[in-house]
């Protein structure tokens, strides 16, 4: 094969870059794919907050800012111009039901391969957001030529059972660099020292944006019950987002200020997992949360809401609890499970379940090359 064909440049439609899970997944693949064959250009809303310009440019990619889709006319005009000038053959959209907007423009710009990627699902508690999702969902396949998903649940939700059953949806796991998360007692002790946490303190951890989907209100209620039963316990909250201040206020009103640490947006999450004992994720919905995979790779006891895809469970020790259960039930269950829990390394299981980024990146590379030949 002539090297002149490479690299194939893929236009990735990311939407808002806010340092969330989807962005982490895209970057994991970008860092691990063979960039002499495949290159990524990132088309990002110009009101984004956390874009890693330097890292992307060092890897050979481009950041192209476009108006957000809410400004539909200028969005479509600018996007069409970028797609035509970039001479792309493949556009890969990561914005779920909203992918209808960029993929329609991509079709108008005569881009032959248009990928819609489902990273998420929905929950009836998010009424306004849910209404928009359900309205747009029937059109999700209209301008896409190819369908990707992060889990069976996410694939069936966006593209339908028929497409999924006929193998028309390409499953790409939210894979990670396993070696970065491997349990390390030295790092655990260092991090706890930095955070002034005692050796025997029970540390509950959570990583997620402060948005309704992540269900922080309920998370705080669970922690209050845990703290009532075990005073020597601390909650680490990592992330940022619009609901940060109301959650801080709730923590203050419950007199938990000294027991809840708000650590903001971090780039040392792999080390912070080491300081934790239990990872708690009571989300209203998830496609397949990359933080759930990372936490298991760090050999943590993981307690997750039953509202997410069962593929998130990689280790036998990981448990799902219904959101219908009370915070007291969650707390009691967590403490009982932790009492019998032993933290041991489990890299092999993570690898066998398809979450090793080195293997999965090769799979994506082959897929892009195959699509480019079409």
DSSP 87-114: T-SEEEE-SGGGGHHHHHHHHHTT-SEE
Q: Residue 227 burial (CB < 10 Å; 0-12/13-18/19+)? A: buried
Residues 26-54: what's their mean pLDDT? 95
User: Which residue is associated with the tokens 């984004």?
Assistant: 48
* Cβ atoms of residues 237 and 262 within 8 Å: yes
**Tokens 């992918």 identify what position?**
99
Distance CA 79, CA 12 (A): 12
pLDDT in tens, 28-38: 999 999 999 99
Residues 6 or more apart whose CB falls under 8 angstroms from that of 213 comprise 123, 126, 283, 284, 285, 286
What is the rounded CA–CA span in Å between residue 10 and residue 91?
Answer: 6
Residue from 130, 122, 123, 118 nearest 155 by CA: 118
Mean pLDDT of 71-79: 93
Please name the residues in contact with 69: beta carbons below 8 A apart, sequence gap of 6 or more. Answer: 15, 45, 75, 95, 98, 101, 102
CA–CA distance, 261 with 229 (Å, rounded to integer): 19
269 band by pLDDT with thresholds 50, 70 and 90: very high
- CA–CA dist 113, 143 (Å, integer): 10
Q: Sign of the C-alpha dihedral, residues 159, 307, 21, 338?
A: negative
Can you tell me the distance from the alpha carbon of 319 to that of 218, in angstroms, rounded to the nearest whole number?
17
Which residues, including other chains, have CB under 8 Å from residue 207's CB and lie 6 or more apart?
Answer: 238, 239, 269, 272, 291, 294, 295
- Helix ranges, 195-306 (H): 216-229, 244-253, 269-275, 290-297
Closest alpha carbon to 124 in 139, 113, 134: 134
pLDDT digits (tens, 9 = 90+) for 88-132: 999 999 988 888 889 999 999 999 999 999 987 655 555 555 555
3-state SS, residue 204 = strand
Residue 365, token pair as written in the block = 């590379």
Digit-coded pLDDT (tens) for 281-304? 999 988 889 999 999 999 999 999
Distance, CA of 166 to CA of 272 (rounded, Å): 41
Condensed to tens digits (0 to 9), the pLDDT of residues 127-159 reads 555 555 555 555 677 899 999 999 998 899 899
Q: Give the Cα-Cα-Cα angle 107, 113, 115 (nearest 5 degrees).
A: 90
Structure confidence by residue, pLDDT tens digits, 304-361: 999 888 889 999 999 999 999 999 999 999 999 999 999 988 888 898 989 999 999 9
pTM of the model as a whole: 0.86
CA distance 135 to 137: 6
Beta carbons of 8 and 369 less than 8 angstroms apart: yes
- Residue with token string 């110009």: 46
Return the residue matching tokens 């193998």.
Answer: 167
Backbone angles phi, psi at 284, to 5 degrees: -70, -35
Q: How confident is the model at residue 273 (pLDDT cuts 50, 70, 90)?
A: very high
Query: Are the C-beta atoms of residues 333 and 321 closer than 8 Å to each other?
Result: yes
């Amino acid at each position: 094969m002539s090297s002149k064909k490479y690299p194939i440049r893929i236009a990735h439609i990311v939407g808002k870059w806010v340092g969330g899970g989807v962005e982490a997944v895209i970057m994991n693949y970008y860092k691990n794919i063979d960039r002499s064959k495949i290159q990524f250009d990132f088309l990002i809303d110009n009101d984004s907050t956390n874009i890693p310009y330097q890292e992307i440019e060092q890897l050979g990619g481009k950041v192209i800012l476009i108006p957000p889709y809410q400004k539909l006319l200028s969005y479509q005009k600018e996007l069409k111009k970028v797609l035509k000038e970039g001479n792309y053959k493949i556009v890969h959209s990561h914005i779920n039901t909203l992918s209808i907007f960029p993929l329609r423009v991509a079709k108008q710009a005569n881009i032959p391969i248009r990928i819609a990627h489902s990273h998420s699902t929905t929950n009836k508690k998010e009424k306004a957001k849910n209404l928009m999702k359900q309205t747009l969902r029937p059109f999700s396949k209209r301008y896409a030529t190819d369908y990707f998903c992060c889990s069976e649940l996410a694939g069936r939700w966006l593209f339908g059972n028929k497409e999924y059953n006929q193998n028309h949806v390409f499953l790409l796991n939210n894979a990670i660099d396993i070696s970065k998360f491997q349990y390390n007692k030295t790092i655990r002790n260092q991090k706890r020292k930095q955070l002034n946490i005692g050796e025997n303190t029970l540390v509950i951890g959570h990583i997620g944006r402060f948005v309704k989907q992540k269900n922080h209100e309920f998370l705080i209620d669970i922690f209050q019950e845990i703290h009532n039963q075990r005073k020597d316990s601390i909650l680490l909250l990592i992330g940022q987002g619009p609901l940060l201040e109301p959650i801080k206020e709730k923590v203050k009103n419950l007199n938990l200020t000294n027991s809840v640490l708000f650590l903001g947006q971090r780039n040392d999450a792999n080390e912070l997992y080491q300081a934790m004992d239990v990872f708690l994720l009571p989300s209203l919905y998830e496609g397949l949360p990359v933080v759930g995979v990372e936490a298991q790779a760090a050999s943590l006891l993981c307690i997750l809401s039953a509202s997410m895809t069962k593929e998130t469970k990689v280790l036998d020790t990981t448990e799902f609890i219904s959101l219908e259960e009370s915070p007291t039930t969650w707390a009691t269950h967590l403490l009982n499970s932790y009492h019998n829990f032993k933290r041991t390394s489990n890299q092999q299981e993570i690898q066998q379940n398809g979450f090793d980024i080195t293997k999965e990146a090769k799979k994506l590379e082959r897929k892009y090359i195959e699509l480019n030949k079409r």
